[in-house]
Amino acid sequence: MACGEDETGEGNETWRFVTEEVTGQVQYEYAAEFADRISEKTDGRITIEPYEYGGLGSETDQVELLQDGGVEMAVMSPGFTGGMVKEGQIFALHFLFPDSVATTQEILNSSEALNTDLRARYEEFGISPLAFWTEGAMQWTSNDVALETPEDFDGFMMRTQSSPLILESYRAYDAEPTAMSWSELYTALDNGTVQGQENPIFFIGDASFHEVQENLTLSNHNNYVAMTTVNTEWYEGLDEETQQLIDETVEEMQDWVFEEQKRQNEEYLEIIKDNTDNPTNVIELTEEQRQAFKDLAVPVRDFYREEVSTVDGEILDKLIEEIEAAQ
C-alpha cells in the first residue's frame, strides 16, 4: 500500500488510482479530476496518482491489482469481473435500463439493488464499488453488414468484453461473440478477426474504431456502466474522516462525470459524421427496429435468473422494480 508517512513524518499519503482508459477518455479524466479535488481538500496532504490503461496489464489484471492492494482505487467495468462476481453481469442485459441516459444515471445513483445488494457481492471479493455511473449509451459498429435487424447478426463476429452474459446476450441474436481486450480491438477490426463491436460513441471515436468500420448503428441497446471502486480492506481500515472525504468526493463526481460523458459523446458523434477521409454510414434505428432486438433480449433475463445469479435473480428483480418506479 502506498499510503503511510513520508520522509518528513508529516503523514502525507499517495494513493494509486488505475483506470481502463487513456488520457482524454472519460475514466482517466474522472480519476484526474478526483485527484485534483482530493489534493485541494487536503491541502496536498493526499496525492492520488491516476494511471492510464496499458501500463499495469489488461483490464482483468487491473481487477486483481485492486484486490491484492497493488492499487487503492480503480475505475472498473463490470464486464471484466463477470467470471468472478456473477451478479455484476446484470449490466450485460440489453434494453434493461431506460432509453434516457439521464434517467439511467438517476437510477444508478439511488438504486438499493446496486449500491447495497450488488456492492455486498463485490465486497465478498475484496472490491467495494462506491458508485456506478454511465459512460453513455452503447452503439454498434460493423463491417460487411449494416446492423439493423437481428438477422443481420446471424454468424456475425462480434467483439465483447469477457463476462459470460455479454456473450450470451449476443448469442440471443445468433451472433458469434469473441471476448478480447480493447487494446487488441483496432487491429482485430482492421484485419477482420472480428467484424464489429459495441461501445459508447466517445470511445469509438477516441479509439478510432470508426476508421476501420463501415457502419455505426445508433441502437442504444444498453448503457456502458463503470464503477468507482476501492480495495475493501484498505477502505475499511481508513479513519472515518478519510472515508467521508472519499465518499463525499465520489458523490460530487456523479454530476461531473455525467456532464463529461455527455459532452464527449455529443462531440464525437459530430467528429465521426464529419470525417470525410474515413466516411461512416450512420444508421439510426427506429423504435420498431429496436423492439425486434428487445424481443430477443428480454428472455436473456431468465438466463440471468436461472444460470448466472447466485441469489435467484433477487437483485435483478429489485432493480427492475426500481427502474419501473423511476419511469
Q: If DSSP codes are grouped into helix, strand and coil, which group holds residue 153?
A: helix
Task: Report the distance separating Cα 94 and Cα 14, nearest Å.
Answer: 39
Distance CA 113, CA 128 (A): 14
Q: Which residues bind ligand 6CS (CB under 6 A)?
A: 20-21, 59, 77, 135, 161, 182, 199-200, 203, 224
- Residues 43 and 51: their CA atoms lie apart, in Å, by 22
Phi–psi pair at 51, nearest 5 degrees? -115, 130
* Shortest distance (Å) from residue 287 CB to ligand 6CS: 25
Least Å distance between CB 175 and ligand 6CS? Answer: 16
Rank residues 13 and 21 by Cβ distance to ligand 6CS and give the closer one: 21
Query: Minimum distance from CB of 208 to ligand 6CS (Å)?
Result: 13
3-state secondary structure (DSSP) of residue 266: helix
CB of residue 236 vs ligand 6CS: minimum separation in angstroms?
27
Contact 219, 142 (CB under 8 A): no
Tell me the C-alpha to C-alpha distance, in Å, between residue 253 and each of 33, 127, 171, 188, 297: 8, 19, 36, 34, 32
Q: Which residue, 203 or 304, has its beta carbon nearer to ligand 6CS?
A: 203
In the complex with ligand 6CS, the residue whose CB is nearer, 89 or 309, is: 89
HEC letters along 43-109: CCCEEEEEECCECCECHHHHHHHHHCCCCCEEEECHHHCCCCCHHHHHHHCCCCCCCCHHHHHHHHH
Give the shortest CB-170-to-ligand 6CS separation in angstroms.
14
Shortest distance, position 182 Cβ to ligand 6CS, whole Å = 4
Distance from C-alpha of 289 to C-alpha of 238, rounded to nearest angstrom: 51
Given a contact cutoff of 8 angstroms between Cβ atoms, the answer to whether 205 and 212 are in contact is no
From CA 138, how far away is CA 149, in angstroms rounded?
16
In 10 A of CB 22, how many CB atoms?
A: 14
Q: Are 23 and 6 in contact (CB under 8 A)?
A: no
199 versus 280: smaller Cβ distance to ligand 6CS: 199
CB of 296 to ligand 6CS, least distance (A): 22
In the bound state with ligand 6CS, the residue whose beta carbon lies nearer, of 203 and 268, is: 203
Given the complex with ligand 6CS, which of 21 and 148 has the nearer CB atom?
Answer: 21
Nearest distance, CB of residue 89 and ligand 6CS, angstroms: 15
The least CB distance from residue 184 to ligand 6CS, in Å, is 10
* Local structure of residue 89 (DSSP, 8 states): G
Residue 301 DSSP code: H
- Alpha carbon 20 to chain centroid distance? 9
221/313 with CB nearer ligand 6CS:
221
Comparing CB distances to ligand 6CS, the nearer of 225 and 300 is 225
Closest alpha carbon to 37 in 247, 262, 260, 264: 247
Nearer to ligand 6CS among residue 128 and residue 163 (C-beta): 163
